[in-house]
Amino acid sequence: MNNYDIELVSVSKSFAGLPVVEDLNLQIPRGEFVSILGPSGCGKTTTLNMIAGFNTPSSGDVRVRGKSQTRVPPERRNLGLVFQNYALFPHMTVAENVGFGLRMRGTPKAEIGPAVEAALRSVRLDGLGARYPKALSGGQQQRVALARAIAPRPTVLLLDEPLSNLDLKLREAMRIELKEIHEQLGMTFVYVTHDQEEAMAMSDRIVIMWQGAIVQQGEPDSIYRNPATRFVADFIGRSNILSVSWSAGEAAFLTLNVDGSPIVLRSACLTDPQGIRSCCIRPESIVLLDGTQELMPGQNRLDGVVRRIVNLGAHQELLVDIADGLALTVLVRSGRSSSPPEPGSTVTLGIDPHDVQVLSD
């Protein structure tokens, strides 16, 4: 017996011959908060529906706690589901909504009441049990949906873009709350979203999907620092992506030529140098050198001209031309003392070789 709550084994799904999910392999350990992150249309909902049982895989196997679910209908999978549009039962009160799962399983009445109250307490809605869903705000409705899904104590909670209908402030507050509820319940959460910030903020692990396949998975930090492909580098956070080819050096001392320009970059990445096709540099890892600083040995040093500046409040975003047709986005913290350079002025950029992440596509 392994420790996985959910396993997808070579799962594929096509609709009318069109493949939507292809050969997906995924293992979700018990108790983890896992996000499935990808642009819309990449097959996230389809994947979640195959776990829940509403879509049957064209091939492959879905397992819950080691048991194949092929012959198990959705109502016997014991998985909680939270939808983007809440999907509350409008003809039932909040308490009736939350107690629905227990009622359908024939739980004795005496146990339903306390369970409903506990579930409402954990989403901080105690006292609203007698209301109808329509009388609640969007955020409250989504909490009711959450309470309804967790009240029967499902094996896993599946959430499909649950915060997308809420406004930004509420969404950010709910992220923290969802994370707290996850910790408090110790239940496995599978969270589907197209919002990379949301996934970064909450997840123990992120699974990045693109065009029906998993392109990378790992802890949020490691995905951010070591994106595996151009797509991931571009999709997660902001990045400068440059097409490069390896010219010299081994292991931690790679020398890369930037295609179509005389610029040379040093990278400290450990990969097969033959496979390098491009590299990614995060805007916040580039520093402005003002001449007084000593260059660290091996550090990249590039001269450029500031094309434009965008004031983002806490940060200034500079677009710096470093060669013909080649510009880098640089993020510098707005300081009280130092004023940002003027557009048109010449600057020197410093990039640590560890921050030049090589990519194979």
Ligand X SMILES: Nc1ncnc2c1ncn2[C@@H]1O[C@H](COP(=O)(O)OP(=O)(O)O)[C@@H](O)[C@H]1O
Binding site for other proteins (CB under 8 A): 52, 54, 73-81, 83, 85, 87, 89-91, 93, 100-101, 104-105, 130-135, 145, 148-149, 152
d(CA 341, CA 56): 58
* Tokens read off for 194: 């197209």
Q: Does 41 bind ligand X (CB under 6 A)?
A: yes
Residue 357 pairs with which residues in a beta bridge? 280
Cβ proximity to ligand X: between 166 and 265 the closer is 166
> Using the rule CB under 6 A, which residue among 33, 37, 45, 63 binds ligand X?
45
Instruction: Please name the residue that has the structure tokens 């010449």.
Output: 346
Query: Closest by alpha carbon to 192, among 85, 88, 84, 60?
Result: 84
Cβ proximity to ligand X: between 165 and 299 the closer is 165
Q: In what order do the strands lie in the sheet with 315-323?
A: 286-289, 346-351, 300-311, 315-323, 326-333
Q: Does 46 bind ligand X (CB under 6 A)?
A: yes
Q: Rounded to an integer, what is the distance from CA 195 to the centroid of its chain?
A: 6
Q: Does 166 bind ligand X (CB under 6 A)?
A: no
Report helix angle 94-104 to 138-150, nearest 10: 20
Cβ proximity to other proteins: between 93 and 329 the closer is 93
The alpha carbon torsion through 74, 76, 78, 79 (nearest 10 deg) reads: -10
- 212-251 footprint of ligand X as x/- string (CB under 6 A): ----------------------------------------
Interacting residues with ligand X between 13 and 32 (CB under 6 A) = 15, 20
Min separation Cβ 42 and ligand X, Å: 4
Phi, psi (5° rounding) for residue 19?
-70, 130
* Tokens read off for 60: 């492959």
> Using the rule CB under 5 A, which residue among 22, 28, 45, 158 binds Mg ion?
45
- Out of Mg ion, other proteins, ligand X, none, what residue 15 binds, judged by CB under 5 to 8 A for its kind, is ligand X
Binding footprint of ligand X on the chain (CB under 6 A): 15, 20, 38, 40-46
Residues forming contacts to Mg ion in the complex (CB under 5 A) are 45
